[in-house]
Structure 1
Amino acid sequence: MGRFIYDSTLTVTLDDDLLGQLQAVIGAKFRLKQSFYFSWGYPANTGESRTMIWLTPSISVQFHYRASRAPALDRDRMATLLAEANSPNGLVLIIGA
């Protein structure tokens, strides 16, 4: 499990493969100087809540991987995540589903 860190204040634990997909999508948006909403939640039975942040190239994000190998990127999954990031609701993940 890796970590996504937003603005050095918020940390989310994610699977390394998902973190790799997320890094590719965020990188693609930031290269185009595009901002977007990013939210994540947890399955209803966990009692956890949902969080939404505004991702913009001017705010620091970090990707920390547990494994030393680079995660494999799935082009279809990346296309789906990028399409979500381009939608009015932004990129939405359910963690642990």
Structure 2
Amino acid sequence: MGTLFYGGDARFELSDRLLAHLQAVIGMKLRRNESFFLSWVIPPEEGNGRNAIWVDNGVPIRFRYEGSRPPRINREWAETLALSANTNFGLVVTDETIEADAHGGHELQ
């Protein structure tokens, strides 16, 4: 389990695999000076609900990985995440399986 550090004190535990994909997408968006929401579901064992944060170049963000080797990037999943970042809902974390989601996600063709 890795950690996403956001702003001053916010920290969120996410899998190394998810973090690597988020780093790729967030890096691409911020290089283009594009701001967006990032949101994900909080699992029941952590209390349920959803997190949403506004990501822009003015807020420090750091990725800390538990493992020392970077995971292989699933291009289709990264593209699906990147496409969702361009919607009103922002970058909505989805499972790695590539499917259209009920919140306006995109299916790759």
Deviations 1:2-34 (A, max 9, x none): 001101321111110110000000000000010
Count of matched residue positions in the alignment of Structure 1 and Structure 2: 94
Aligned mates of 1:8, 1:48 — CA distance in 2: 24
Root-mean-square deviation (CA), in Å?
1.6
1:61 is matched with: 61
**Tell me, which stretches of 5 or more residues in structure 1 are unaligned?**
none
Question: Does 2:31 match 1:31?
Answer: yes
Shift of 1:93: 2.3
Higher relative contact order (CA 8 A, sep 6+): 1
Task: Flag the structure with higher strand content.
Answer: 1
Contact 2:42 2:51 in 1 (8 A): no
Aligned sequence identity (%): 39
Aligned mates of 1:94, 1:11 — CA distance in 2: 20
**Tell me, which stretches of 5 or more residues in structure 2 are unaligned?**
96-109
2:15 is matched with: 15
Aligned mates of 1:17, 1:48 — CA distance in 2: 21
Contact 1:8 1:61 in 2 (8 A): no
Please give the TM-score of this superposition, normalised by the length of structure 1: 0.88
Please give the TM-score of this superposition, normalised by the length of structure 2: 0.79
Aligned mates of 1:30, 1:93 — CA distance in 2: 17
